[in-house]
Amino acid sequence: MMQTPVIVTFANQKGGVGKTTLCVTFANYLLTKGVNVVVVDCDFQHSILKCRRSDIRKYGEQAMPYDVVEREATDRQEMIELIEKLHNDPSIEVAVIDSPGSLKAGGLVPLFVNSDIIVIPFHYDLVTVPSTASFLMFLDRLRHAVGDDMKAKLFIIPNLNDGRVGKRSELVIWDNTRETFSNYGYVTPKLPKRADMQRFSTVAALDML
């Protein structure tokens, strides 16, 4: 059984795969299920924090349904302290973390090691697939290095899928990619590219307005 809070980290070293959007969408979904959630924005661009500030200006502080906090993943000690703080807060059931799109940040190792679930969005193209494969191999090496200390389950999401794109030869490659990636974690069904998924909000009850 996972301890509370469950730490769910959205990660990939390749940018532009919809990582941040899925992170916020997942937090909003948890909220609709009555889960006490906090979002930690560790991405270098801090897009979630910027969105939250915009939401506060638009709807007011009282309308914010969960906390969004900012942390720098470049600092290993800061990340360790964050994990400890999360585990010492009984009010949090799930911590959703948006990690930076880079493996150079010094705090990523303790973050990944202490995550319960790592969600890895990607999309099928000839640049993103090799980069995601490299990221999966990094996580696999990390798991072997730390042993039982790393218990994270991996969910690999083919995101931003456009069924109109892809030659027959490429579709064969994508099928082989899915089979290969399944050796590292659970590969979910494809998520289609949708316009409304580009307009995320940190106010779950209002995000369709």
Token pair of 9 as six digits: 């980290």
Mean pLDDT of 176-186: 95
Residue 173 has pLDDT above 70, yes or no: yes
In terms of pLDDT, which residue wins out, 168 or 184? 184
Cα distances from 79 to residues 84, 182, 193, in angstroms, run: 9, 29, 33
The pLDDT tens digits for 184-197 are 999 999 887 765 55
pTM: 0.91
Radius of gyration from C-alpha coordinates of the chain? 17
Residue 1 has pLDDT above 70, yes or no: no
- 3-state SS track over the chain: CCCCCEEEEECCCCCCCCHHHHHHHHHHHHHHCCCCEEEEECCCCCHHHHHHHHHHHHHCHHHCCCEEEECCCCCHHHHHHHHHHHHCCCCCCEEEEECCCCCCCCCHHHHHHHCCEEEEEECCCCCHHHHHHHHHHHHHHHHHHHHHHCCCEEEEEECCECCCCCCHHHHHHHHHHHHHHCCCCEECCCCECCHHHHCCCCCHHHCCC
The pLDDT tens digits for 119-164 are 999 988 888 999 999 999 999 999 999 999 999 999 999 987 666 6
Confirm if 98 and 40 have CB atoms less than 8 A apart: yes
| Mean per-residue pLDDT of the chain | 89
Domains and CATH numbers, the chain: 6-198 (3.40.50.300)
The pLDDT tens digits for 56-95 are 999 999 999 999 999 999 989 999 999 999 999 999 999 9
Give residues with Cβ within 8 angstroms of 41, minimum separation 6.
Answer: 47, 48, 49, 68, 69, 70, 71, 98
3-state secondary structure of 103: coil
Token pair of 110 as six digits: 């303790």
Indicate the residue type of 59: Y
Angle at 30 between CA 198 and CA 203, to 5 degrees: 50
